[in-house]
Amino acid sequence: MEKKEFGGKLIEVDEDGFIQDPDAWDENVARDLAKTEGVEEMTEDHWKVVNYLREYYLQYQMAPMIRKLCKTTGFKLKEIYDLFPSGPAKGACKVAGLPKPTGCV
Amino acid sequence: MSKRKEQSHRVKVVLQRLREKMNRQMAGSLVACVHCGMCTDSCHYVLANPDDPTYAPAYKADKIRKLFKRHLDWTGRVFPWWVKAEGIYSDEDLEELKDTVFGKCTNCRRCSLNCPMGVDMATFNRMARGLLVSVGIMPEGVAVVSKDQWEIGNQMGVLKEDYLETLEWMSEELRDELGDPQFTIPVDRTDCEIVYAINPREVKYDPRTIADAAKIFYLTGENWTMPSDCWDMTNFGLFSGDDELGGAVARRLYEKVIELRGKKLVMSECGHGYRSTRCEAPNWAQFDVPFEMESSVITMLRYISEGRIRVDKTRNTEPVTFHDSCNNARSCGMFEEPRELLKLVVTDFREMYPNRAENFCCTGGGGAMSMSEYTPRRLKSARIKAEQLRATGAKIVATSCHNCVDGLTDLIRHYELDMEVTQLVNLVANAVIVEKKVAVPAAGPPKPAPLAGKTILVADDEPDQVAWLSTLFADHGAKVVEACDGDQALELARTHKPDLLTLDLAMPGKSAGEVFELIRREPQLADLKVCVISGRPELRKTIYDRSVKPPEGYLDKPVTEERVLRSVRKVLELAHDDGK
């Protein structure tokens, strides 16, 4: 698996650009990952989504349902898509340092 | 002679299973190839990698064919050097086979269609995947999803309470929009006309398609329900070649529909799920399915053509093209319905070339979206699809498959195309008119002579059908004129100036398509409305491919009195705001 530079360090990513080691993630890494997903600047709203995804993942080792994400962060579905144009599964999860979601996504 | 090589345990299991899985179609395909090379030009991998022969379907097939020749076919025992019979021995050999059958083919079947010998490459590619899966050799993504489908019952491991909570959430979102504070997505209702099953991705990541479908069902007044469990209509058995998994997954859904006593299973827009559940899994599960199964595309088209919902296509004005999913189109023959539906709900539809059965793969098929290790190959081969998309000039590509949605989204980004991907349900839900619900009574005592004052021309070559329709219309007050062939229909339309023509598509004389176009092009007949009533869906295109205003109504035979009357009244009584 190849390594790419994110947030000033070399990090292993899979062929779809998801980082492999959640511990390698930090906010600078997230900012650089965000750029690969069409998010030029991480606003407070972006962090709210990303931080929740990461916390949930570290606790349960899986991505949360979109329902849980919206309920906890208070964002509407449409707002999530406005924040992360490639959607919660590929966009937001990638920025939060989660592995690629499995299945038909 | 070199020493006889030892086979690893896994190889032995694979070869044993190869014998068990072999059937006549596969054996036929394995012996029929003459290496003519027709398949090479049909495969998007080859077209994007012209210098790499390992992508050629015939080359990939030979990897499986050599085993068949070596171990099953008599020719390989007599003259193995001539028929290129070769054995496999080690786990490394199996890994190499994995790289081919999972990583260099999406099982899209375009080469099968273009093979003059009828070799169905995808069928034995899938079988080879199944052999490897039986000894635990598969891409990790496939393993994870298969495990979730076996153990939790859906491919994304969604728990029941989360699923139900999401449905409730979508119900809340719809209450305002529909102006009905009582609205709720029905769950586990028994004896419904429709049981609606979905792809887990909808509930886990993007439930907008669930809300859109619910909105449409609500507006039609449909008696429908979603199941509380066993609601996953996808099937990784199709991708992994694991017939046992395929059968088990589909059986759960079949049994759920039976438990709910549903009359029809409608599946959301998912190509592989539709093909698996409707066409393949009754065989895998050895299950005699006692209810009808339908794609939601056909359901939505029926709702519009029966007048149960009205749509305003001017709400979707961006240029839209349509991508045929390999499973829906090439494998299940669903070609015309999505196009008819799109033309009803968008103003600017642009065909993609090649299309229908000849369309190129989205590159995400066969489970490829779950196999990250092959993503660079996938994106490289996607150049063919990207060129096809770019040539349409469309801003939106609509498709009826979740895999295609993701495959296309990925390649659109990679090749920097200015396009968005959407599903038909989103476009229909956007075009559907909520304020003015169509309220033609579906049942109950009809108003006295609702067709009074109308003249209806019935054109059909079956005397029984003419008599039945004429009686029905006359009983409801219409004046009826009868024609038994195309020429007569045209003549009577000119002389009697009817309000409505009911047109059968298979008649002697002038073809129904020609009659239809002549009528549309004749200024004196501009007000004549046309309702097609046909028992031959394959003839739809003879009407819809013409560059004239489409018919106001369309009914598939067999028809009931209620359906005919409702459609005819809808056509005659309601204004058509279809933008034309």
* Domain C-terminal end among B285, B305, B325: B305
Q: Are residues B168 and B295 in the same domain?
A: yes
Query: Are B301 and B335 contained in the same domain?
Result: no
Q: How far apart are the first and last CA of chain B?
A: 79
Nearest to B273 by CA among B367, B136, B370: B367
Residue A103, pLDDT score: 81
Pairing of strands B224-225, B194-197: parallel
Question: Does a structural domain hold residue B448?
Answer: no
Longest dimension (CA), chain A: 37
Pairing mode of beta strands B420-422, B396-399 = parallel
Per-residue model confidence (pLDDT) at position B506: 87
Residue B556: pLDDT band with limits 50, 70, 90: confident
CB within 8 Å of B101: residues ≥ 6 apart: B60, B63, B64, B125, B128, B129, B132
Q: What is the mean pLDDT of residues B229-253?
A: 97
Which residues have a Cβ under 8 Å from the Cβ of B526 and sit 6 or more positions away? Answer: none
The per-residue pLDDT for B40 is: 94
For residues B337 and B464, state if they share a domain: no
Rg (chain B; Cα; Å): 26
**In a domain? residue B154:** no
**Which among B257, B289, B305 is the end of a domain?**
B305
Q: Cβ separation of A105 and B201 shorter than 8 Å?
A: yes
Looking at the structure, do residues B333 and B300 belong to the same domain, yes or no? no
Looking up residue B553, the CATH number of its domain turns out to be 3.40.50.2300
Assigned token pair, A15 = 């062929």
Q: Is residue B2 part of a domain?
A: no
Residues of chain B with pLDDT > 70, as a percent, come to 96
Compute how many other C-beta atoms are within 10 angstroms of the C-beta atom of residue A42: 18
Residue closest to B423 by CA, chosen among B440, B403, B444, B446: B403
B-interface mutation test, from A53, A65, A94, A104, most B Cβ less than 10 A away: A104
Tokens of A16: 């779809």
B318 and B282 inside one domain: no
- Does residue A102 fall inside a structural domain? no
CATH of the domain at B238: 3.40.50
Question: First and final CA of chain A: distance in angstroms?
Answer: 21
Q: Which candidate, B126, B131, B108, B101, places its Cα nearest to that of B29?
A: B126
Residue B536: what pLDDT?
85
Task: Say what the pLDDT of residue B342 is.
Answer: 97
Angstrom distance (rounded) from CA B463 to CA B472: 14
What is d(CA A77, CA B347) in angstroms, rounded to the nearest whole number?
A: 27
User: What pLDDT is stored for residue B579 in this prediction?
Assistant: 39
pLDDT at B194: 98
Whether residue A103 contacts residue B200, with contact meaning beta carbons closer than 8 Å, is answered with yes
CB B232 within 8 A of CB B253: yes
* Same-domain pairing of B259 and B210: yes
Q: Which two tokens stand for residue B129?
A: 């995947």
Q: Can you list the positions of beta strands (E) in B338-454?
A: 349-350, 396-399, 420-422
Q: What is the CATH number of the domain that holds A57?
A: 1.10.10.370
In a domain, B149, yes or no: no
Chain centroid offset of residue B241 CA: 20
Q: Does residue B406 fall inside a structural domain? A: yes
Most A CBs within 10 Å, among B173, B210, B232, B372, to test the A interface: B372
- Is B270 within a domain? yes
In a domain, A100, yes or no: no
Q: Which helix (H) or strand (E) holds B569?
A: helix B561-573
Dihedral through CA A39, CA A40, CA A41, CA A42, nearest 10? Answer: 30
In a domain, A105, yes or no: no
Task: Check pLDDT > 60 for residue B140.
Answer: yes
Residue B446 placed within a domain:
no
- Cβ contacts of B106 on chain A, cutoff 8 Å: none
Determine, yes or no, domain membership for A60.
yes
* Residue A10 resides in a domain: yes
Domain encompassing residue A8:
3-95
Domain boundary among B78, B106, B138: B138
H or E element at residue B531: strand B529-534
Residues of chain A found within 8 Å of residue B173, distances taken between Cβ atoms: 77
pLDDT band at B566 (very low <50, low <70, confident <90, very high): confident
Share of chain B above pLDDT 90, in %: 83
Q: pLDDT at residue B567 above 90?
A: no
- In sequence order, the β-bridge partners of residue B267 are B197, B295
Q: What is the DSSP string of B296-353?
A: HHHHHHHHHHTTSS-B-GGG--S-EEEE--IIIIIIT---HHHHHHHHHH-S-EE--S
Query: Residue B208 and residue B169: Cα distance in Å, rounded?
Result: 11
Dist CA B530 CA B311 (whole Å): 18
B540 or B459: which leads in pLDDT: B459
* Rounded Cα distance, B158 and B499, in Å: 54
d(CA B93, nearest CA chain A) in Å: 22
pLDDT recorded at residue B448: 65
Strand partners, B392: none
| Domains held by chain A: number | 1
The pLDDT assigned to B578 comes to 46
User: Do residues B170 and B281 both lie within one domain?
Assistant: yes
Distant-in-sequence, close-in-space partners of A55: CB < 8 Å, separation ≥ 6: none
Kindly calculate the radius of gyration of chain A based on its CA atoms and give it in whole angstroms. 13
So what's the pLDDT on residue B268? 98
Q: What is the ipTM of this complex?
A: 0.95
Residues in A closer than 8 angstroms to B373, CB to CB, are 14-15
| Closest to B246 (Cα-Cα) out of B279, B208, B203, B210 | B279
Asked whether the beta carbons of residue A105 and residue B158 sit closer than 8 angstroms, the reply is no
Residue A11 lies in a domain: yes
User: Does the beta carbon of B144 lie under 8 angstroms from any beta carbon of chain A?
Assistant: yes
The pLDDT assigned to B440 comes to 52
If asked whether residues B170 and B284 sit together in one domain, one would say yes
pLDDT digits (tens, 9 = 90+) for B424-464: 999 999 999 996 444 555 555 555 678 888 999 999 999 99
Which ranges of chain A have pLDDT less than 50? none
HSE-up of B384 (CA within 13 Å, CB side)? 20
Torsion of CA A5, A11, A12, A18, to 10 degrees: -80
Report the distance separating Cα B459 and Cα B504, nearest Å.
6
B123/B26 Cα distance (integer angstroms): 7
> Is residue B103 less than 8 Å (CB to CB) from chain A?
no
Q: What is the mean pLDDT of residues B325-352?
A: 97
Q: Is B271 on the interface with A (CB under 8 A)?
A: no
Q: Give the whole-angstrom CA distance, residue A89 versus residue B93.
A: 35
Under an 8 A CB cutoff, do B200 and A77 touch? Answer: no
My answer on whether B319 and B388 are in the same domain is: yes
Domain count, chain B: 4
* B500 three-class SS: strand
pLDDT attached to residue B275: 98
Q: Are the CB atoms for B119 and B40 separated by under 8 Å? A: no
Structural domain that includes position B504:
455-573
Of residues B143 and B527, more confidence is placed in B143
In a domain, A104, yes or no: no
Residue B100 has pLDDT above 80, yes or no: yes
Closest to B83 (Cα-Cα) out of B92, B93, B73: B73
Whether B549 shows a pLDDT value over 90: the answer reads no
- β-bridge pairing B553-556 and B264-267: unpaired
Distance (Å, whole) CA B474 – CA B432: 33
The answer to whether B494 contacts chain A (CB < 8 Å) is no
- Give yes or no for A72 touching B (CB within 8 A): no
**What pLDDT is attached to residue B357?**
95
Q: Is the peptide bond before B558 cis (omega within 30 degrees of 0)?
A: yes
Kindly tell me if the per-residue pLDDT of B308 is higher than 80: yes
The average pLDDT across B116-141 equals 95
Amino acid at B82: W
pLDDT at B211 exceeding the cut of 60 = yes
Report phi then psi at B421, rounded to 5: -110, 140
- Whether residue B145 lies inside any domain: the answer is no
Q: Is A93 an annotated catalytic residue?
A: no
Verify that B80 and B178 share a domain, yes or no. Answer: no
Q: Are residues B294 and B420 in the same domain?
A: no
pLDDT of B376 > 70? The answer is: yes
